[in-house]
């Protein structure tokens, strides 16, 4: 999953997540999530933001930009839940509020 982009300039998300690329429920296959972007300039009710998410694989070069909005939960440049690597991911926050943790890359094993 490579080179996906989401741009949010407003709207109500009713406590939902925003994901640049989300490879979930992949039990046996390795799925890499690389070079995905999420840009949020406005919006309400955003729970958490992931530039890239995978269960197994590499998450690299994913970017999250948050400007002038509030995120109710977590912000990850990338999140790997299983065996994999998170590298070279970025989060940029400008004049915004994040109510929980911010991480460029995170691996949960």
In this prediction, residue 28 carries a pLDDT of: 58
The partner residues of 23 in beta bridges, in order of sequence, read 54
Number of H helices, E strands in the chain: 0, 15
- CB under 8 Å to 69, separation ≥6 — which residues? 40, 41, 42, 43, 44, 46, 96, 97
**Is the full-model pTM beyond 0.75?**
yes
The 3-state DSSP class for residue 103 equals: strand
The Cα 97–Cα 68 span in angstroms is: 8
Separation of alpha carbons 7 and 98, rounded Å:
18
Per-residue pLDDT of the chain (109 residues; tens, 9 = 90+): 899 999 999 999 999 999 998 887 656 577 899 999 999 999 999 999 999 999 888 999 999 999 999 999 999 999 998 888 999 999 999 999 999 999 999 998 8
Q: Which two tokens stand for residue 75?
A: 């912000």
Tokens of 103: 């991480």
């Amino acid at each position: 999953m490579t080179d996906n982009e989401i741009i949010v300039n407003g709207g109500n998300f009713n406590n939902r997540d925003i994901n640049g690329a989300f490879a979930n429920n992949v039990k046996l296959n390795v799925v890499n999530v690389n070079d995905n972007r999420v840009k949020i300039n406005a919006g309400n009710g955003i729970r958490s933001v992931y530039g890239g998410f995978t269960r197994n694989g590499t998450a690299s070069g994913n970017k999250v930009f948050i400007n002038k909005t509030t995120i109710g939960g977590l912000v990850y440049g990338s999140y790997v839940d299983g065996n994999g690597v998170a590298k070279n991911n970025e989060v940029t926050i400008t004049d915004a509020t994040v109510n929980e943790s911010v991480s460029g890359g995170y691996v949960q094993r």
